[in-house]
Amino acid sequence: MVATIVLIQDATGNLHDQKGAVIHDTDADIAAAQAVDEAARPRTLADYNMQDQNYENRSAIRPPAIQRQDFELKP
Protein backbone atom coordinates (compact mmCIF):
# COMPACT_ATOMS: atom_id res chain seq x y z
CA MET A 1 0.00 0.00 0.00
CA VAL A 2 1.30 3.45 -0.91
CA ALA A 3 0.60 6.52 1.23
CA THR A 4 -0.53 9.54 -0.77
CA ILE A 5 0.74 12.94 0.30
CA VAL A 6 -0.99 16.09 -0.91
CA LEU A 7 1.38 19.05 -1.13
CA ILE A 8 0.23 22.66 -1.30
CA GLN A 9 2.53 25.39 -2.60
CA ASP A 10 2.27 28.79 -0.91
CA ALA A 11 3.02 32.22 -2.40
CA THR A 12 6.74 32.01 -1.57
CA GLY A 13 7.15 28.65 -3.30
CA ASN A 14 7.44 26.48 -0.18
CA LEU A 15 5.61 23.16 -0.17
CA HIS A 16 3.35 22.29 2.78
CA ASP A 17 1.52 19.08 3.58
CA GLN A 18 -2.09 19.00 4.81
CA LYS A 19 -0.97 19.55 8.42
CA GLY A 20 0.99 22.67 7.47
CA ALA A 21 4.48 21.24 7.89
CA VAL A 22 7.04 22.50 5.38
CA ILE A 23 8.25 19.82 2.97
CA HIS A 24 11.65 20.53 1.43
CA ASP A 25 12.02 19.92 -2.29
CA THR A 26 14.55 17.14 -2.83
CA ASP A 27 15.21 18.28 -6.40
CA ALA A 28 16.26 21.78 -5.31
CA ASP A 29 19.91 22.61 -5.88
CA ILE A 30 21.30 22.95 -2.37
CA ALA A 31 24.86 23.43 -3.58
CA ALA A 32 23.91 26.62 -5.43
CA ALA A 33 22.69 28.17 -2.19
CA GLN A 34 25.90 27.41 -0.29
CA ALA A 35 28.87 29.72 -0.69
CA VAL A 36 32.18 27.97 -1.38
CA ASP A 37 35.51 29.53 -0.54
CA GLU A 38 37.65 28.56 -3.54
CA ALA A 39 40.92 29.31 -1.71
CA ALA A 40 40.06 26.87 1.08
CA ARG A 41 38.82 24.14 -1.27
CA PRO A 42 41.29 21.25 -1.51
CA ARG A 43 42.64 20.69 -5.02
CA THR A 44 42.63 17.27 -6.63
CA LEU A 45 45.10 15.87 -9.13
CA ALA A 46 42.64 16.66 -11.94
CA ASP A 47 42.70 20.34 -10.93
CA TYR A 48 46.45 20.46 -11.57
CA ASN A 49 46.11 18.69 -14.93
CA MET A 50 44.06 21.38 -16.64
CA GLN A 51 44.43 22.46 -20.26
CA ASP A 52 45.07 26.10 -19.37
CA GLN A 53 48.09 25.24 -17.19
CA ASN A 54 50.61 23.92 -19.70
CA TYR A 55 54.36 24.37 -19.48
CA GLU A 56 54.27 27.54 -21.57
CA ASN A 57 51.89 29.43 -19.33
CA ARG A 58 52.70 28.16 -15.85
CA SER A 59 56.49 28.35 -15.81
CA ALA A 60 58.18 31.44 -14.39
CA ILE A 61 61.18 30.97 -16.71
CA ARG A 62 60.25 31.32 -20.35
CA PRO A 63 62.60 30.34 -23.18
CA PRO A 64 63.48 33.14 -25.58
CA ALA A 65 61.67 33.32 -28.91
CA ILE A 66 63.52 31.91 -31.91
CA GLN A 67 65.15 34.81 -33.75
CA ARG A 68 66.50 33.10 -36.86
CA GLN A 69 64.27 31.63 -39.52
CA ASP A 70 66.94 30.31 -41.92
CA PHE A 71 66.77 26.63 -41.03
CA GLU A 72 67.98 24.14 -43.62
CA LEU A 73 68.57 20.41 -43.77
CA LYS A 74 72.08 19.26 -44.59
CA PRO A 75 72.66 15.83 -46.16
Q: What is the pLDDT of residue 56?
A: 60
Residue-range domain boundaries for the chain: 8-57
Q: 31-58: per-residue pLDDT in tens?
A: 666 777 777 778 788 777 766 666 566 6
Tell me if residue 32 falls in helix, strand or coil.
Answer: helix
Asked whether 7 and 17 are in contact (CB, 8 A), the reply is yes
Note the pTM of the prediction, 2 decimals: 0.31
Question: H/E element holding 23?
Answer: strand 22-23
Q: What is the pLDDT of residue 24?
A: 72
